[in-house]
Amino acid sequence: MAHHRGGSSPVSGGSPPAVRRAKRPRLAANYDRKLARRITLADGTKLTTLRDAANLFATQFASVKSWWLLELTIERLIAAAESAERNTVKIATDSIERVVHFR
């Protein structure tokens, strides 16, 4: 039976080397991204960009204290502005459409 000095062997003891995961670089928010499709409001206003939707929420829903659908939609809008993925923009567009047609 072999004995190791120092109390740890290169195979079993000691701590494993730290594994570092590369983080994806965070993109600057781009609210000028186009929605997945144009959304037309009841008054004829057309939303074509994330900025259009953000401005609408800031003016039309500023007095809303708590509405889970609006909160979720704003989170998705921000995620879409920070992402370059089409699916993220589509999910945000779907949520925006639900909010503006719900009221």
As given in the structure block, the two tokens for residue 101 are 């047609």
**Which residues in the chain come in under a pLDDT of 70?**
1-27, 103
* Cβ 77 vs Cβ 58: under 8 Å: no
Positive or negative CA dihedral for 44, 96, 62, 31?
negative
Give phi and psi for 85, each to the nearest 5. Answer: -90, 130
Query: What per-residue confidence (pLDDT) applies to 51?
Result: 98
What is the model's pTM? 0.72
* Cβ 88 vs Cβ 27: under 8 Å: no
Query: What per-residue confidence (pLDDT) applies to 28?
Result: 87
* Cβ 50 vs Cβ 81: under 8 Å: yes
Query: What per-residue confidence (pLDDT) applies to 14?
Result: 55
* Cβ 77 vs Cβ 96: under 8 Å: yes
Query: What per-residue confidence (pLDDT) applies to 21?
Result: 54
